[in-house]
Amino acid sequence: MKEFLIFGQEWFELNQKGYSLRKIGKLYGTTHKTVGRVFDFLKLSRINWYNNELINITNQKFGQITVINILNETDHNGKRYWLCYCSCNSNKQFKVISSDLRRGRKTHCGCNFPLKNDLSGQTFGYLTVVKDSGERSPLVMWQTKCTCGKTHPVSTSDLISGHTKSCGCKRPKGEEHYKWSGSSEIKLYLRGKLKEWKKDSLNYASYRCVISGEVGNRKDPLEVHHLFKSFSSIYHESLELCKLEEVSNIGEYTKEELDLLIHTLISKHYEYGLGVPIKRSLHLEYHHFFKKESPSGNFEEFLRLKRSELK
């Protein structure tokens, strides 16, 4: 194949003019597979021509799909994408390769997939399912109504798993959120410097929740709970030790002051001991009962309570 690499640009131009890979191969005394490998090696986009002509399927219908026009995009095999829309209520536009349309592999946008479970009328948290919205992402999207009166589209998995329980109106915000420690930029910046402390805390517990013994997952990841002293308390103690005033902007500290504060904050975290890994759902529940305070006695009480529930 190496001896044909010099022809890459020529072959690309011929392909754009309507020459198929097979015809290019015959002109240069090689196979269409070698031509394809050269295109792939040089990362050249290609058009797959049939009988030296691109089959025009503009305005043709395939099931519920109507083809709008061809796009200047190809998949990894060099097949051109066509812009289409579905005749369902969503009028969703999407791209499809022509072979999927002509061979009947794609006849709708996903709106005709049968519903395994009809959730209409069921309640999940603060949301009541009104009806199937007709949208697919590609999951079934349900039109729900929150107790506050707002409507909100939610997927089947988010409803059943409990990931979404409201339109967002019940989500703790600002000072009500358990991670609230002021809105200053410096605190957010310093939290990001505790990665090693968090990693050591997770590693010490073998990356398992100290309550359930389970590993974290995408929907309910592990978080590191400050067991003996909250982040905010350690932060203010570090400021006192460094003899610095609290500011809202990182730029108000010099580089030396900021480095000193980071070093002190990390040292104090290790001095007070590692944190404990806990699943986010349990972490939220804990701080719902005990707010922002985190004495170890409260956590031990919570630990006994939750472990007794899990038995």
Average pLDDT over every residue of 269-273 = 90
How many whole angstroms from its chain centre is CA 179? 22
CA distance 266 to 147: 44
Domain co-membership, 99 together with 131? no
**pLDDT confidence of residue 91:** 66
Query: Percent of the chain beyond pLDDT 90?
Result: 7
Domain co-membership, 134 together with 210? no
- Whether the pLDDT of residue 275 is over 60: the answer is yes
Domain co-membership, 22 together with 129? no
Domain co-membership, 200 together with 296? yes
Domain co-membership, 74 together with 141? no
- Whether the pLDDT of residue 265 is over 90: the answer is yes
CA distance 195 to 207: 14
Domain co-membership, 220 together with 298? yes
Q: Tell me, yes or no, whether 108 lies in a domain.
A: no
Return mean pLDDT, the chain. Answer: 79
Domain co-membership, 267 together with 302? yes
Evaluate if pTM is beyond 0.75.
no
CA distance 10 to 99: 27
Domain co-membership, 84 together with 152? no
- Contact 47/80 with Cβ under 8 angstroms? yes
Predicted confidence band at 78 (pLDDT cuts at 50, 70, 90)? low
- Whether the pLDDT of residue 164 is over 60: the answer is yes
Domain co-membership, 73 together with 140? no
Q: Please state the domain count of the chain.
A: 4
Which contacts of 156-160 are long-range, i.e. CB under 8 A and separated by 24 or more positions?
156/117, 156/119, 159/119, 159/124, 159/127, 159/129, 160/124
Q: Tell me, yes or no, whether 222 lies in a domain.
A: yes
Domain co-membership, 207 together with 273? yes
Q: Tell me, yes or no, whether 21 lies in a domain.
A: yes
Domain co-membership, 156 together with 190? no
Average pLDDT over every residue of 154-162 = 80
Comparing C-alpha atoms, which of 142, 136, 145 is closest to residue 160? 142
Q: Tell me, yes or no, whether 253 lies in a domain.
A: yes
Domain co-membership, 217 together with 282? yes
Q: Tell me, yes or no, whether 206 lies in a domain.
A: yes
Q: Tell me, yes or no, whether 91 lies in a domain.
A: yes
Rg (CA), the chain: 30
Q: Indicate the range of 63-77, 133-147, 253-267 predicted with least confidence.
A: 133-147
For CA atoms 209, 212, 216, 222, the dihedral sign is negative
Average pLDDT over every residue of 212-225 = 85
Segments forming the whole domain that contains residue 69: 60-103
